[in-house]
Amino acid sequence: MIDKSKVIKVKKNPQGDITDVMLENGNVYSIDEAIMMAKDHLIEDVNVGKSKNGREYLRSNPNGDEGDNLENKPIF
């Protein structure tokens, strides 16, 4: 069984888009890798959304707590 991990930090580009994520185990993944991992249920508390233009993005599962949204995670 594969252990799931949570996103603890994010890296953003100058436009504010998340480009990379750091998981609890310290591993860093590009946003594209993280999206694939989320689809495979390897990252906890996130899901993959699709924008109007068809681009996929990673988002936190809704829970009513904006403090744990990916946008509000610490930067690395």
User: What letters, b where the CB count within 10 A reaches 16 and e where it falls short, cover 20-56?
Assistant: bbbbeeeeebebeebbebbeeebbeebeeeeeeeeee
**pLDDT attached to residue 2:** 60
Tell how far CA 46 is from the center of its chain. 6
Average pLDDT, 10 consecutive residues per value, the chain (76 residues)? 83 96 96 97 95 94 82 94
Domain boundaries, the chain: 7-72
Q: What was the pLDDT predicted at 1?
A: 47
pTM, entire model: 0.88
